[in-house]
Amino acid sequence: MAGVSSELLWALSRASGLVLLPLFTLVVVLGVLAHGGRRLGRSPRVVTPLVHRALALAALGFLLLHVGSVVADSFVDVPLLAVVVPFSAGYERFWTGLGTVAVLLLVAVVATSLARVRLGRRVWRAVHALAWPFLAVSLAHALGVGTDTRTPWGLALATACVGAVVAAVVAGRRRDRWRPADPVRRPSVLQESPR
């Protein structure tokens, strides 16, 4: 493969990786907010999960670009097999392997979300929680293998992502369900009467 093309592929994989980190962070943040029943601004409550889903789809597109460009790039040794088998790549075996683990976790999350209607809520909830290890492993992968994440601005980006998730978890927890007002109860008229 020509050098210019390889150069382009390398730039593509780095750039898409840099987009993926904040994008997946945003998806997780929206997921937390959606679970907490939070609104985005003044929009109705249903908008939050809709945006969560739409951004997740967009992130999947970038992920395809990210993985595809790395595999296609002949300069680094990442065979197609390494997309599904962790720690089988020649280039940065451990850190690239974490990327593979993240992909596998994401496949589970996406597949169960697509089949959510058939699975039922409890199974889906349990598998969907894999989004947390996914985000953690992705972040480790980004910090370990990333050419740009060790620059000051790259570290700042990673820190901001972690901060956003923590803030969402703290602020966006599910609030108490709505209850009719005045649960105060007087004794019933028939409480003391013989049955």
Partner 1 sequence: MMLTTSPDRPAGTAGVPDLIDRLRRSGLQGRGGAARPVAAELDRVRAAGPGGVVVVNGVEGEPLSRKDATLLTTVPHLVLDGAVAAATTVGAPDVVVCAAAGPGLEAVRRAAGERGGVDGPVHVHVVAAAPGFVAGQESAVVAHLDGFAARPRGTGVPLWRSGLAGRPTVVKNVETLARTGLLARHGHQPDTVLLTLATAAGPRVLEVPAGSALDVVLDREGVATGAGVLLGGYHGTWTPSDVTVPLTVDAVRAGVVRPLLAGECPLAVTAVVVGHLAAASVRQCGPCTFGLPRLHQLTLALAAGRLDADGVHELRRTVGLLVDRGACRHPDASARTVASALTAFPAEVAAHRRGACLAARAVAA
**Choices 4-12, 37-45, 117-125, 179-187; region in contact with partner 1 by CB under 8 A:** 179-187
Q: Which residues make Cβ contacts (< 8 Å) with residue 87, sequence separation at least 6?
A: 93, 94, 96, 97, 100
Nearest approach in angstroms of CB 153 to partner 1 is 50
Nearest approach in angstroms of CB 184 to partner 1 is 8
Q: Which residues make Cβ contacts (< 8 Å) with residue 55, sequence separation at least 6?
A: 23, 26, 27, 30
- Residue 185 contacts partner 1 per CB under 8 A: yes
Cα dihedral 12, 139, 134, 35 sign: negative
Nearest approach in angstroms of CB 192 to partner 1 is 10
- Residue 195 contacts partner 1 per CB under 8 A: yes
**Choices 15-23, 28-36, 98-106, 183-191; region in contact with partner 1 by CB under 8 A:** 183-191
- What is the rounded distance in angstroms from the CA atom of residue 50 to the CA atom of residue 39? 11
Nearest approach in angstroms of CB 50 to partner 1 is 22
- What is the rounded distance in angstroms from the CA atom of residue 26 to the CA atom of residue 22? 6
Q: List residues near partner 1 by CB under 8 A.
A: 180, 182, 185-191, 193-195
